[in-house]
Structure 1
C-alpha cells in the first residue's frame, strides 16, 4: 500500500470527537435549550475540551481551548470556511461585507477599508468620541439627581451608535432615529439565531418573526441610507464613508460600488454598536458587584485626568480602565461563539474531523477554561496586566475573533470602551438595585435580559 493510501486509512480509523448523550431525533437539544452554558460546561468537564453536540437537525463539534482556535482560525484557516446556516442567515442582512465575505473578495475589501482604522486616524477621532460621550452623559444628570432606576444598557446603546454614526459616517442622528436603529438592530441580532435554524425553510412556510425581521432590515437600511446621503452632501474628508467613496484599489484600479458600500456600512453599523455597548453594560454591572474595582477605577481617572476630558495620549495611562473593559469582554463577550465549516477532512487533538463538519468555537468556554485562566469565574481586571499576561496563549482571549479575520474595528472598540468607562467614572458613581440583578439573554449575542438597571450618583 502506498504511503498516501496508508495515511488515508489511518485517518479513517481515528475516532470522532466524543458525543454528548441525548435523545432519539432531538439529540442534546432539550438540555442545551434548558441550561445553555451550564450544559456546555458540564459536557466539557465530562468529555474534555472537544466534543460533538447532536442537535437533532444537525451536529456541531464544540471547541473550547485556545489550541483549537489556533488550529481552526489561524494555522489552517483556509480549510475552515464561513459556510453553513449561521453565515447564510447573517448574509440576509450583512450582504457580502467584511464580517461574512471570504477569499480574494474579502482581501480586497479589507485592503480598501483598513486605512480607516490606522493608528493616526483613531488618534484624530478621540475628540469627536469624547464630545458625543459628554452630550449623552449630560442627559444622565436627571437620573443622578432623583436616584431613579436607570437602564445603563439602553443608555450605552445610544452612545455607541451615536459615536459610530458621527465618526464613521460624518453625520449625526436625531434621538428618535437612534432609538429606532438600536431597537431594530437588537431585534435583527436576536432573530438571527432562530433564522439560522429556519433558514432553509421555503418562503411560503409561516416562520414566526420572519416578516418582522425583514421589516427591521428595511428600517435600518432607510436610516443608514439617509446617513450616507447626508455624508455625501456634507463632503467631510475624514470619515469612513468618504474613504469608501473615494478609495481606489491599487491592484485593480476599481472603486467600491454602492452595493459594496452598503454591505460594509451595515457591518460596521452592527458590529460597532453591539460589541461595545453590550460589554460596557456588563462592565458596570460587574463594577457594582465589586466596589474595590470601582474605587480603583475612580482613583485612576482622578489621578490621570482630574476634571478634564481625556485625550488620546491619556489612554496609555488609563490602564486599569482598559483592563476592566477587557475583563468584561472575557466574562461576557457579546460574540460568544464563532462558527466554521470544514472544507476537507482534518485531524485535531487526535480526532477525525470529517469534511463538511460544523465547528463551534465557543469563546465563552475558551474564556472560562480553568486550564488557561486562574479562577476563571472571578472578575479580576488585573489578570490583563503585562506580568500576569506573560506566557498566556495568544488565542485565550478572542472577543474580536482571531488570526487574519480579527475584527477590523478591534482597536476602535477598545478605545471607545476605555474612553466611556473613564468618562462615566469621572462623573458618576454607580450602585446596584436590590432585586434587579442583570440576567443573561442568549441570542446571537450575549446581552443582558431586560437591561442593566442601577442607580447613578453625581460625583
Structure 2
C-alpha cells in the first residue's frame, strides 16, 4: 500500500501543548514529553497560526541539513533578530555569509589553528592561576561567571592579538551579553515593527553603542597598523567580501560580535555543565583527574598536551550531547518539499532539536546516562553521522568546533590538576536562547595538596 503524504506525521494540538506546559518543567519539559511520544517522527506543533515542524530523526536531519540544505534557510524570527546584533555575515545567508565563513575557516584551520593553540595554552594557565589566587580554599564561586572569566582570558589573545586591555575585553563581553539577551522579545514577536518600542530595546541600543565604542576604533587602528598576526581579527582584516573587496570595518565588528556570542557564553555554559556532570559521576571525575596528572605531570600545560587529553575530550563530547547549548535551532523552507512522506509547505518553520536527537533510544543506549565511552573511535564510527550535532551540521556547521573542544578539554584538565571541585545541590536546565541552568551553579574549589 503506498504511503500517503503526511501519514508519518505526529501532531501535537494546542490543547496538548498547554497541558504539557501545565505538567511542569517549562518549555524544556514539554519538549522532552513530545520527544518521548514521537520517538523521532516528524512532529507538527499546532500553535494557532504558527505550526512549526519539529525535526529530530537523523535521517530527516540529513535531508534538511545536507541533502537539501539550500532549501532550509536562516529566515526565521530568531535569525532576523540576531542579525541586528551580528549582521548578515557569519550568522546570515548568501554571498556575504560565504565570504565571512571562508575567512573564519582559514583563521581556525591548518597552521593558523596551531598558532592559536600556542596562544591559548598560556592563557588557560594564567586564568586558572588567577582563580587560585581569588578563590580561598573551600570558597563558593559562580560557575558561569568564573568560566566566562577564563574563556575571556583566552578570547583576548586569540581574537584580538591582545590589542586591548583585559578590562576592555570584559566590558565588551558584558555589553554583547546584554545586547543578546535584549533580543528575546524581538525574537518572540518578529511581526512588531522596529519603530514600535518593545521591552529590551533601550538596553539593546545602549549595549550596541558600547560595542561600537570599543570595537570600531580598535578595528580602524588595527587596519592602519596592518594585521599579519595569527589572531582572528587579523584574518578578518585580510579577508574579502563577496565582491572581492576588503571587509568593511562594520562587517569586521559584526563578525567579532558573532564570535563573542558563540565563543563566550556558549563555552562558559558548556564548561558549567561539565562540572555538573563530573560532580554527579565521581568515577568519571577521578579518571579525568588521573589523566590530567599523567599528562600535565603537575606542571603547566603545553600545546603538545592537547592531543594526549583523550579521555577528557570524550568527556567534553558527552557533555555536549546531554547538555546541547543550542537546544533548538530554526530553519525556514524556501520551497515546498516532502520529508519521509510528509509535505512541507513553502515558508514553513522547521525546528531542529539536538537536545531531543541526543536522547533518541534508537541511537543512544540508555540516553540519559552520562557515558564518555560513547565517544571512543569505535563508538563514533558505528553511529549514524547525524545522531550527534551539538555544533550543527551541513554548510552552517560551527567552524570553531575543533578549537572549542581543545579549549574546553584544556581548561577542565588544568583545573582538575590543581583543584578538587564540588557542585553542591542539583542543577536543572532551562530553555532560554541557550540551555542555561535554572538557578545559579556554585563551584566549591579546594586546592589539591
When normalised by structure 1's length, the TM-score is 0.89
Moved more, 53-62 or 226-235: 226-235
Q: CA deviation at 1:277?
A: 1.4
SS in 1 for 2:139: coil
- Partner deviation per Cα, 1:181-223 (whole Å, 9 max, x = no partner): 3433333333434321122213454422222223222223333
Q: Conserved in 2, the CA contact under 8 Å of 1:171 and 1:231?
A: no
SS in 1 for 2:366: coil
- 1:319 is aligned to 2:349: no
Q: Conserved in 2, the CA contact under 8 Å of 1:346 and 1:354?
A: yes
Quote the residue 1:387 is aligned against.
378
Q: Conserved in 2, the CA contact under 8 Å of 1:12 and 1:352?
A: no
Quote the residue 1:275 is aligned against.
266
Q: CA deviation at 1:143?
A: 5.5
Q: CA deviation at 1:376?
A: 0.9
- 1:60 is aligned to 2:52: yes
Select 2:446's aligned residue among 412, 434, 457: 457
- 1:239 is aligned to 2:228: no
- Partner deviation per Cα, 1:391-417 (whole Å, 9 max, x = no partner): 201111111110121111111111111
Alignment of structure 1 residues 137-152 onto 2, 5 Å = 137-142=128-133, 144-152=135-143
Segments of 5+ residues of structure 2 without an aligned counterpart are: none
Alignment of structure 1 residues 331-346 onto 2, 5 Å = 331-346=322-337
Residues 18 and 253 (structure 1 numbering): CA distance in 2 closer, same or farther, change over 3 Å? Answer: closer
Quote the residue 2:432 is aligned against.
443
- 1:285 is aligned to 2:276: yes
Q: Conserved in 1, the CA contact under 8 Å of 2:119 and 2:158?
A: yes
Q: Conserved in 2, the CA contact under 8 Å of 1:169 and 1:228?
A: no
- The whole-number CA distance in structure 1 between the counterparts of 2:383 and 2:446 is 38
Q: Conserved in 1, the CA contact under 8 Å of 2:185 and 2:200?
A: no
Select 1:378's aligned residue among 369, 379, 387: 369
Moved more, 304-313 or 284-293: 304-313
Q: Conserved in 1, the CA contact under 8 Å of 2:327 and 2:431?
A: no
- The whole-number CA distance in structure 2 between the counterparts of 1:409 and 1:105 is 18
Select 1:154's aligned residue among 145, 156, 159: 145
Quote the residue 2:20 is aligned against.
31
SS in 2 for 1:122: helix
Segments of 5+ residues of structure 1 without an aligned counterpart are: 1-9
Q: CA deviation at 1:278?
A: 1.1
Alignment of structure 1 residues 166-245 onto 2, 5 Å = 166-171=157-162, 173-174=164-165, 176-203=167-194, 205-229=196-220, 231-232=222-223, 235=226, 237-245=229-237
- Partner deviation per Cα, 1:130-187 (whole Å, 9 max, x = no partner): 2222222122224553412111211111121231122111126555444433433333
Q: CA deviation at 1:457?
A: 1.1
- Size of the aligned set, in residue pairs, is 443
Residues 219 and 451 (structure 1 numbering): CA distance in 2 closer, same or farther, change over 3 Å? Answer: farther
- 1:83 is aligned to 2:62: no
Quote the residue 2:90 is aligned against.
98
SS in 2 for 1:128: helix
- Partner deviation per Cα, 1:352-375 (whole Å, 9 max, x = no partner): 111111000001101111111111
- The whole-number CA distance in structure 2 between the counterparts of 1:11 and 1:374 is 30
Q: CA deviation at 1:311?
A: 2.6
Quote the residue 1:421 is aligned against.
412
Residues 429 and 235 (structure 1 numbering): CA distance in 2 closer, same or farther, change over 3 Å? Answer: farther
Q: Conserved in 2, the CA contact under 8 Å of 1:16 and 1:353?
A: no
When normalised by structure 2's length, the TM-score is 0.91
Residues 11 and 82 (structure 1 numbering): CA distance in 2 closer, same or farther, change over 3 Å? Answer: farther
Q: Conserved in 2, the CA contact under 8 Å of 1:61 and 1:358?
A: yes
